[in-house]
Structure 1
Amino acid sequence: MIALQGKGDPPAVADTGPPSRPGFEELYVAYFQSLTVQLFAYTNDMGVAQEVVQEAFCRALARWKKIALYDDPSAWVRRVAWNLATNRWRRARTAAQFLRRQREEYTPAPNPDRVALAQALKALPARQRRAVILYYLADLPVNEIARQDGVAEATVRSWLHRGRLALAAQLSGPGERHV
């Protein structure tokens, strides 16, 4: 450092210590805009560019004691920002490829019999409906249904009998009789 001397001032001593390193704030002010412009050119999205540069600076701040000792701390921030942008692009590409591989599946509408059965089941009392569904659709034996519900097997057989009668009454056409 060179100091100006006036008459009568003691001679100035040149500072021969190591050059001062910029602090984090100075690095941020000096490089945020230029890094954002670089990443905007790379990503073609100003919001993404600002986000990855900001994230890179946040990571640098968390490690500042170590990064401040680097010959060029801005190079570290730049590399991190570029890596973040590249990783973001890779994730987006992977997601797009996944979506392209997905096929739209056609599921036919339920037939009228299925709709009628669903409506008839809804009309049953809850215990009868549960017993009918577990017995006929889930293929559980009476003793397993009784064990799950904590009731006697005779109770489950009664629910099934009443449920079948109610379903038959609801699903039979006019004049049909089910016993």
Structure 2
Amino acid sequence: MSPDPPDFADFYQTARPGLVAEFYAYTGDLGEAQEIVQEAFIRAWTHWRKVSEYDRPRAWVARVGYRLAVSRWRRARTALASLVRHGPPPEVPEPSAASIALATALRTLPDAQRRAVIMHHLSGYSIAEIAAAEGVADGTVKARLSRGRQRLSTLLTDHNDQEDAHA
């Protein structure tokens, strides 16, 4: 009669330190090694019934880890090649004071009003499309838009008045 397969927790506690050391040596990066080993153990956990019956379950986890490491290197190499080929992404300009003020004012609106204003004025949805997406009547969307625009007008006028006072 063969012994019972090792409990996963015991296997993890026993095998993890050596595997982290092994992958640290392989990758040269402790964080990367820990992530690879963790992902390999997650995969072992999902297949533990089968893996626990292998003669050397640690070897299975290590093989999965090496495949993960190679996959990460390939992705990194592809990303680097893309960066070299296309160059760095273009500079993104800083948001204007007006954009910041609008975003700040929008955050003060109730969720339903904020969604209606953004969907209608920034995303170009019609009142009927917003009503369908929100599951409300057209009149409800019109009321939300009206209240939201009114509140934004007050907030943005107050903001502009404060800026003029500081200038």
TM-score (norm 1): 0.47
Tell which structure's C-alpha radius of gyration is larger: 1
The structure with more helix, counted as a fraction of residues: 2
Higher relative CO (CA 8 A, sep ≥ 6), structure 1 or 2?
2
